[in-house]
Structure 1
């Protein structure tokens, strides 16, 4: 017997148009999940800021574009920051557009990390689920997620257990990981390439430590990512010898995976509790081992000796030593780990099971197998 199809309304991040890069890893997560759910024959409506792009392969997905001012990211807010909703903000308009279509849907799925969607959830007749994309970066957001967890934790899912541990929840968390279209990442077996680093160019990503590793090893460091903080980038470059950093910019997946796959190792240096670590898995999908601080999501994704190596957080010397040893890792094992744990298919099945179980508990739909 065929499993029933879900009718889902996906609510994109309010930080920027889907495809702009301003939404960071949430954009990649949403795009990949939409593609996976379409392959599993679910019916989707995507609510996103004006200028958004429909994910490739999702021609049947209804894209509803909403005008409004981008929401500030909580990522760089102080711990005591208050809730802020700009004048003419896109966030409430995204919710309004989603609720207008909720009567014809089984559930709404929110990707935006913000206070308003969390607060409104218990007040809605329509079931609203949340894929939480960050840890407890501020007190008010931590409290909002914990309050919703006390009301009905089945509405919450997290990328990693380490991320979920930021919150006091009444029950063990639902961890769904993340997923990627692995067909878009070509495995490269060569082991003698340069060192790489990828991510938003911002202080919490710790690029300066990776640059110091390159200096210690007398090598250059290829850097990919959205330039979010120009002052920070200039300071990192000024602190190392000229030519140490080679800026490669923010590239589409097709070009990123080609260049990243030629590296002999990806250095990952989070200074905060990274919820997952998309670039970690993107590198593994290309066969590139990842050398990372044992902090946040990357510390949960890396199996030492199989797909990378972990070192104590903020220990640059240990990071350099681990890079020297990365040649012992079989690059095909990196790819196999990604196929087992982080494919589009694996991710979409986990999310499907989470939402279906929550709906079944509400009496709305029979749980999928």
Structure 2
């Protein structure tokens, strides 16, 4: 199969601004290449693919980033900036795709979904969020009526946000497991990983660390400086260890040393890449039973799930996390979330999309 892949229009690959989409894209490219498929990636200028993905052709596009729908109101109108990066990526993708089988879009935005109804080339969409926009959800419904196979989701709970989709295609996610080393560090520090933004709920994890009299190691791109400073000022100085944004290889070396990953989202995560990354290193996860993480974490086996926003229960589970056998965590990832498992699901789905046309 010859696949043209459209990247996120929020930050270049490697910047951390694109959140989990950056890792998902690289993992998928790796899996597709290992299965013998041809992949071309269209991404913002300065983007970098993992070294193992050098066989994929990479095209650079310049332009203005889109505003993330996570940071807009549900009823906000569509805004397309002048010199739009997303429009430029789509224009290039459609041109290249004349010689390909399918365009695979990984940006959650209105324009590529609208294009599905206006070009003859198959455009498949990996939807990376729950319903964050009325105008996008309404458009997905319209496209779905004509092309019911053109959308795939990371988790069932995410797909439930789109009630009009009767039989959602669930593809999960996958990771290159040789990039993650198993460590049996039962006495390590507390960890939190993610974009530092309001919807990620970092303050609840800091609350747990403060109650335990420990420091919390925080890895990730600080998207909202004001939010980060507000949290820092709300707790005793030094409670947060700001560790910065690291590459996958560097992150897993540090994450594996931790005894637990705290995951505290205030919104419905579509999947939860950092959870699987932690599990791949043998690190149990204590999280809220909200969004994709609630489908990934096996309560009592690979971590614990607390009711959403229940900080006290979250704290109680961290206190008993040593009961979790760390080998269980790695084994779950090997059986459910490798790049080959993920890529095979995507290929089976794309074959349905192509056949539809």
Q: TM-score range by the shorter chain?
A: over 0.9
More off after superposition, 259-268 vs 135-144: 135-144
Partner in structure 1 of residue 73 of structure 2: 78
d(CA) in 2 for partners of 1:194, 1:235: 23
Structure 2 contact 26–53 (Cα < 8 Å) conserved: no
**How far apart, CA to CA, are the structure 1 residues paired with 2:247 and 2:6?**
23
Q: Partner of 2:102 in structure 1?
A: 107
- Give the conservation status (yes or no) of the 8 Å contact 1:146–1:168: no
In structure 1, the partner of 2:322 is: 327
- Higher alpha-carbon deviation: 54-63 or 232-241: 54-63
Distance (Å, rounded) in 2 between the aligned partners of 1:190 and 1:91 = 43
Matches within 5 A, 1:229-248: 229-248=224-243
- Mapping of 1:190-205 within 5 angstroms? 190-205=185-200
- Give the structure 2 partner of residue 255 of structure 1: 250
The farther-off stretch of 59-68 and 100-109 is 59-68
Please list every run of 5 or more consecutive structure 1 residues that lacks an aligned counterpart in the other structure: 1-5, 363-369
- For the aligned residue pairs, the C-alpha RMSD in angstroms reads 1.0
Q: Give the TM-score normalised by the residue count of structure 2.
A: 0.98
TM-score, normalised by the number of residues in structure 1: 0.95
The match for 2:304 is 309
What is the number of equivalent residue pairs in this alignment? 357
Q: Look up the match of 1:276.
A: 271
1:264 matches 2:259: yes
Q: 1:3 aligns to what? A: none
The answer to whether the 8 A contact 1:153-1:171 is kept is no
Between 182-191 and 51-60, the greater mean CA deviation after superposition: 51-60
For residue 214 of structure 2, the aligned residue among 219, 232, 241 is 219
Is the Cα–Cα contact under 8 Å of residues 293 and 311 in structure 1 kept in the other structure? yes
**Moved beyond 3 Å, runs of 4+:** none
State the alpha-carbon separation in 2 of the partners of residues 235 and 323 from structure 1.
24
Distance 1:170 1:134 in 2: 15
Contact 2:78 2:135 in 1 (8 A): yes
Partners of 1:257 and 1:337 lie apart in 2 by 17
Gaps of 5+ in 2: none
